[in-house]
C-alpha cells in the first residue's frame, strides 16, 4: 500500500506543477515573444537563460557518466560481459545508423526540394565550420579519445574521454574484488547525490526552454525561413518516419510500443526541443531507462557511447542536406558519389561528436570529401540549421533510448514486467525525492 502512495501523489499534482506542462508552456511563450518582440528576445539575458540551463546540465554529465559506468562494471562479476555488451551496442549502432543514412538518401532523391532554387551561396559564412571539419580526421578522432589527463577530461566534460577512463577504472575496481566494495558503494552514493542535483536543476527547465526558444525565433524568425521551409518540412517528416517506422519496428520486435516509449520520455523530449541539445536530457534519460527495466551496466555503457556513435538524426540530416545543396547548386551527384556520402557520413558523424554545432560540422566534412564544389552551398542552409538541430537532437535521444532497451533485451537483462508497468506510469523528474531514492 505504501508503494502506491508516491504514484498517487504524483497523479494528484496540479497540472501547472507538472514539469512537461511547464516546459511546453515555456516553449509556446518563447515562440510568441521571439516572433512579436524579436529585439527583446535577442537580449543577452534572454539568451543566457537557455545557455545557462544547458551549462547547469553539462556540469554534471561527466560525473554522472563516470559514476554510472564505473558502478555498472564494478557490479559485474564477468569481465567478458562488458566487452560483449559493447560489441552488441556497436553492431546495433552501425546497422541502425545505416538505415538512417539510407532513408535520408532515398527521401532526398524522391523529393527534389532544392531543385530550381538557383542559390548563390556565400562561402565566407561557413568558413569556420569547414575549417573545423577538416580537422576531424579519423586518426585525430582516435587519439582524442585518450585524455591528456583525467582531470582535464572531467573538467571539459568530454564524453568519450570520460567514458574511456570510467571503463578502465571500472575494470580495476572489479579486479579488487572484496576490497573494492567500499569504494564501489561510495561511487554508488555519489551517483545518487548527483542525480539529486539534476532533479534540482530540472526545476529551471522551463526558464531554459523559454530563453532558448525565444532567442532562436527572435534571431532567425519567420523571415529567415523563406523558401527553405521546404527543406525543414521534409527533414521533419523524414525524421518522424524514421522514428515511427524504423525505431517503431525495433520496439515492436522487443515487445513494446514506440508511441508509449515516446510518451514515457516526453519530459526529456520537451527539454531537448526547447534547448536544441540532446545532452541536456542525458542524465534523466539514463535514470528513466533504469526504471524502465534496463540493467544498470547496459544503461551505463550504451547511453554514453550512443551519444557519440548513434546519431540517427544527424545521419538523416547529412544525407538529406547534401542532396538538397547539390540540387540547389545544380550539381548532379553520381551513384558512386551518393554511396560515398553513406560511407563518409558514417565516419564523420563519429568524428565531430561533442563539438558545438556538430551536425553542421559533420555536413562540412562530408561535402569536402564527396565534392568540394558543394562546400560553399552550406551557406544555403546555415540560416535554418538551428531549426533543424532541434529535430536532430530529438531523433538522437529517442534512438539512444531505443538502443539501450534493445541491447538490454539482446543481453537478456530486460525486465518485461517493469517495462510494461513503467510505460503506463507518469513520472515527473523534478521530484527530488524520487530521483534520489530510485535505483
Q: What is the pLDDT of residues 304-326, one digit of tens each?
A: 778 777 888 888 888 888 888 88
Question: In the 8-state DSSP scheme, what is residue 395?
Answer: H
Contact 286, 194 (CB under 8 A): no
DSSP class of 146: S
Range 142-161 average pLDDT: 79
Does 416 score more than 60 pLDDT? yes
> Long-range contact list for 21-27, CB < 8 A, 24+ apart?
22/205, 22/206, 23/205, 23/206, 23/209, 23/267, 23/270, 23/271, 23/274, 24/270, 25/206, 26/205, 26/206, 26/207, 26/209, 26/210, 26/213, 26/274, 27/209, 27/210, 27/213, 27/270, 27/273, 27/274
Question: Buried b / exposed e across 45-58, counting CB within 10 Å, b at 16+?
Answer: ebbebbebbbebbe
pLDDT at 253 over 90: yes
Extract the C-alpha cell encoding 191.
Answer: 551517483
* Count of helix runs (H) and strand runs (E) in the chain: 24, 0
Residue 108: name the closest of 225, 240, 230, 247 by CA: 230
Q: Give the HSE-up count for residue 417: Cα atoms under 13 Å, Cβ half-sphere.
A: 0
pLDDT for residue 1 is more than 60: no
What does the block give as the cell for 156? 571539459
Topology of domain 2-437, per CATH?
Answer: 1.10.3860
Q: Which of 7-16, 46-55, 93-102, 406-415 shows the lowest mean pLDDT across its residues?
A: 7-16
pLDDT recorded at residue 131: 56
How many CB atoms neighbour CB 37 within 10 A? 14
Which among 272, 292, 321 is positioned nearest to 403, based on CA atoms? 292
Grid coordinates representing 145 are 579519445
Kindly list the distances between the CA atom of residue 100 and the CA atoms of 7, 105, 129, 389, in Å, as whole numbers in the listed order. 37, 9, 23, 16
Q: For residue 132, what pLDDT is reported?
A: 53
124 or 159: which leads in pLDDT: 159
DSSP conformational letter for 77: S
pLDDT category of residue 243 using cuts at 50, 70 and 90: very high
The fraction of the chain above a pLDDT of 70, given in percent, is 74
User: What pLDDT is recorded for position 241?
Assistant: 94
Decide which of 437 and 100 is more confident.
Answer: 100
> What whole-number distance in Å separates Cα of residue 33 and Cα of residue 244?
32
pTM for the whole thing? 0.67
What would the grid cell of residue 214 be? 525565444
Among residues 238, 255, 227, 277, which one has the least CA distance to residue 396? Answer: 277
Residue 392 CA to residue 32 CA, distance in Å, equals 23
| Residue 176 pLDDT greater than 80, yes or no | yes
211 pLDDT exceeds 80? yes
> Is the pLDDT confidence value at 433 over 90?
no
Q: pLDDT category, 240, cuts 50, 70, 90? A: very high
Q: Give residue 44's Cα distance to chain centre.
A: 26
Determine the pLDDT at residue 195: 76
Closest among 108, 98, 129 to 367, alpha carbons compared: 129
pLDDT recorded at residue 322 = 86
- pLDDT value of residue 74: 75
pLDDT at residue number 430? 47
With a cut of 70, say whether residue 207 has pLDDT above it. Answer: yes
Residue 247 has pLDDT above 90, yes or no: yes
Three-class DSSP category at 414: strand
Looking at residue 239, what is its pLDDT? 92
93-97, 354-358, 379-383: which has the minimum mean pLDDT?
A: 354-358
Question: Mutual orientation of helices 296-309 and 385-410 as an angle, nearest 10°?
Answer: 150
Location of C-alpha cell 532567442: 215
Measured between alpha carbons, how far is 358 from 380 in angstroms, rounded to an integer? Answer: 17
Q: Is 251 exposed, middle or buried (0-12, 13-18, 19+ CB in 10 A)?
A: buried
CA 335 to chain centre: 31
**CA angle, corner 133, sides to 129 and 135, nearest 5?**
125
The answer to whether the beta carbons of residues 397 and 281 sit under 8 Å apart is: yes
Assess whether pLDDT exceeds 70 at residue 290.
Answer: yes
Q: Which three cell numbers stand for residue 80?
A: 567478458
Strand partners, 414: 294
**pLDDT bucket at 349, cuts 50 / 70 / 90:** low
Confidence of residue 355 (pLDDT cuts 50, 70, 90): very low
The whole-number pLDDT of residue 404 equals: 93
Amino acid at each position: 500500500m505504501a508503494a502506491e502512495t508516491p504514484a498517487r501523489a504524483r497523479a494528484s499534482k496540479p497540472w501547472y506543477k507538472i514539469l512537461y506542462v511547464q516546459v511546453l508552456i515555456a516553449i509556446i511563450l518563447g515562440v510568441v515573444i521571439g516572433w512579436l518582440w524579436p529585439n527583446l528576445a535577442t537580449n543577452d539575458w534572454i539568451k543566457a537563460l537557455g545557455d545557462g540551463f544547458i551549462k547547469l546540465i553539462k556540469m554534471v554529465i561527466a560525473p554522472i557518466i563516470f559514476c554510472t559506468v564505473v558502478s555498472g562494471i564494478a557490479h559485474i562479476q564477468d569481465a567478458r560481459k562488458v566487452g560483449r555488451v559493447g560489441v552488441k551496442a556497436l553492431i546495433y549502432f552501425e546497422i541502425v545508423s545505416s538505415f538512417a543514412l539510407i532513408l535520408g538518401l532515398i527521401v532526398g532523391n524522391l523529393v527534389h526540394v532544392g531543385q530550381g532554387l538557383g542559390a548563390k551561396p556565400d562561402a565566407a559564412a561557413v568558413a569556420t565550420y569547414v575549417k573545423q571539419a577538416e580537422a576531424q580526421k579519423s586518426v585525430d578522432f582516435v587519439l582524442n579519445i585518450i585524455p591528456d589527463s583525467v582531470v582535464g577530461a572531467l573538467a571539459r566534460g568530454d564524453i568519450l574521454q570520460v567514458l574511456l577512463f570510467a571503463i578502465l577504472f571500472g575494470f580495476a575496481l572489479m579486479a579488487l574484488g572484496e576490497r573494492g566494495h567500499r569504494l564501489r558503494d561510495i561511487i554508488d552514493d555519489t551517483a545518487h547525490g548527483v542525480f539529486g542535483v539534476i532533479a534540482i536543476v530540472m526545476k529551471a527547465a522551463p526558464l531554459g526552454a523559454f530563453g532558448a526558444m525565444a532567442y532562436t525565433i527572435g534571431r532567425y524568425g519567420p523571415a529567415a525561413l523563406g523558401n527553405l521551409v521546404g527543406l525543414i518540412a521534409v527533414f521533419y517528416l523524414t525524421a518522424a518516419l524514421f522514428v515511427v517506422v524504423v525505431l517503431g519496428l525495433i520496439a515492436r520486435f522487443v515487445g513494446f510500443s514506440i508511441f508509449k516509449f515516446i510518451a514515457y520520455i516526453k519530459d526529456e523530449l520537451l527539454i531537448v526541443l526547447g534547448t536544441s541539445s540532446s545532452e541536456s536530457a542525458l542524465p534523466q534519460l539514463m535514470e528513466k531507462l533504469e526504471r524502465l527495466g534496463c540493467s544498470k551496466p547496459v544503461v551505463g555503457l550504451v547511453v554514453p557511447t550512443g551519444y557519440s556513435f548513434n546519431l540517427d538524426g544527424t545521419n538523416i540530416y547529412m544525407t538529406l542536406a547534401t542532396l538538397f545543396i547539390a540540387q540547389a547548386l545544380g550539381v548532379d551527384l553520381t551513384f558512386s558519389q551518393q554511396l560515398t556520402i553513406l560511407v563518409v557520413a558514417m565516419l564523420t558523424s563519429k568524428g565531430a561528436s561533442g563539438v558545438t554545432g556538430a551536425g553542421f560540422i559533420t555536413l562540412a566534412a562530408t561535402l569536402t570529401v564527396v565534392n568540394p564544389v558543394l562546400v560553399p552551398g552550406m551557406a544555403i542552409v546555415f540560416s535554418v540549421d538551428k531549426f533543424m538541430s532541434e529535430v536532430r537532437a530529438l531523433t538522437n535521444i529517442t534512438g539512444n533510448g531505443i538502443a539501450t532497451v534493445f541491447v538490454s533485451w539482446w543481453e537478456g537483462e530486460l525486465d518485461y514486467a517493469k517495462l510494461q508497468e513503467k510505460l503506463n506510469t507518469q513520472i515527473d523528474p523534478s521530484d527530488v525525492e524520487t530521483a534520489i531514492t530510485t535505483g
